């Protein structure tokens, strides 16, 4: 009887132990599978974060490169423009100023412009002329006598101390004046010499 009881006890113990081991193994396997799943998901998520970060970094780098390239191009263009302006201004400023202080040159320009005003009229158009006060001695007699046939007997001449060089001219009746100052001549001449200057400087 004692033996049978021992056998039964051993059997129950062994079956319980075996079942416990199996359950423990199943739990370990399940936990391991769950852990692998979590690790895999975490790795996938980490890979995505890294990929997104690399993509964003590349986009930022590309944008920075483009912005830098544009800024460099604009800076180079601005510097070239400044160089052109300095050279053109230096080349034209003194010659233009000297020419518009030359009485004979100003006479010829005034007559040419007066003829242009009168090109479509049978009778000379009465013109108003404003000249620098510095040229009054050299030009007053010319305008009053020689130029009247081109500018009309009713020509009005004024000499202005505010005008440094050049002159203004316009039809007396129409109420508008066209300016031919140092700056105006410089601008016109600069438009002509700019392409050649650019080619000479920068090819």
What are the structural domains of the chain?
Answer: 103-202 (3.30.2320.30)
What's the pTM value of the predicted model, to 2 decimals? 0.47
Helices (H) and strands (E) in the chain, counts: 5, 4
Q: How many CB atoms lie within 10 A of CB 57?
A: 10
How buried is 155 (Cβ within 10 angstroms: 0-12 exposed, 13-18 middle, 19+ buried)? buried
pLDDT value at residue 88: 72
pLDDT value at residue 5: 61
pLDDT value at residue 76: 81
Partners of residue 170 on adjacent β-strands: 128
pLDDT value at residue 152: 59
pLDDT value at residue 98: 76
Q: How many CB atoms lie within 10 A of CB 110?
A: 23
pLDDT value at residue 142: 75
pLDDT value at residue 44: 86
Question: What are 93-102's contacts with CB under 8 Å, separation 24+?
Answer: 93/182, 93/186, 96/182, 96/185, 96/186, 96/189, 97/165, 97/182, 99/185, 100/165, 100/166, 100/182, 100/185, 101/134, 101/135, 101/165
Q: Indicate the SS3 state at residue 59.
A: helix
Computed from CA positions of residues 57, 60, 64, 66, in that sequence, does the dihedral angle turn out positive or negative?
Answer: positive
**Low-confidence stretches of the chain (pLDDT beneath 50):** none
């Amino acid at each position: 009887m004692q033996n049978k009881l021992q056998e039964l006890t051993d059997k129950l113990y062994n079956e319980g132990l075996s079942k416990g081991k199996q359950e423990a193994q199943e739990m370990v396997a399940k936990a391991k599978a769950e852990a692998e799943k979590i690790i895999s998901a975490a790795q996938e998520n980490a890979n995505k974060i890294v990929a997104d970060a690399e993509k964003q970094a590349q986009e930022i780098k590309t944008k920075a490169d483009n912005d830098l390239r544009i800024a460099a191009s604009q800076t180079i263009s601005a510097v070239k423009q400044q160089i052109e302006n300095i050279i053109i201004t230096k080349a034209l400023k003194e010659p233009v100023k000297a020419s518009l202080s030359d009485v004979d040159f100003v006479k010829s320009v005034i007559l040419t412009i007066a003829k242009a005003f009168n090109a479509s009229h049978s009778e000379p158009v009465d013109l108003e002329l404003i000249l620098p006060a510095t040229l009054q001695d050299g030009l007053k007699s010319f305008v009053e006598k020689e130029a009247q046939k081109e500018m009309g007997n009713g020509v009005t001449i004024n000499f202005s101390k505010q005008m440094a060089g050049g002159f203004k001219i316009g039809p007396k009746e129409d109420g508008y004046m066209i300016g031919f100052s140092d700056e105006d001549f410089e601008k016109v001449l600069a438009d002509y010499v700019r392409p050649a200057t650019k080619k000479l400087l920068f090819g």
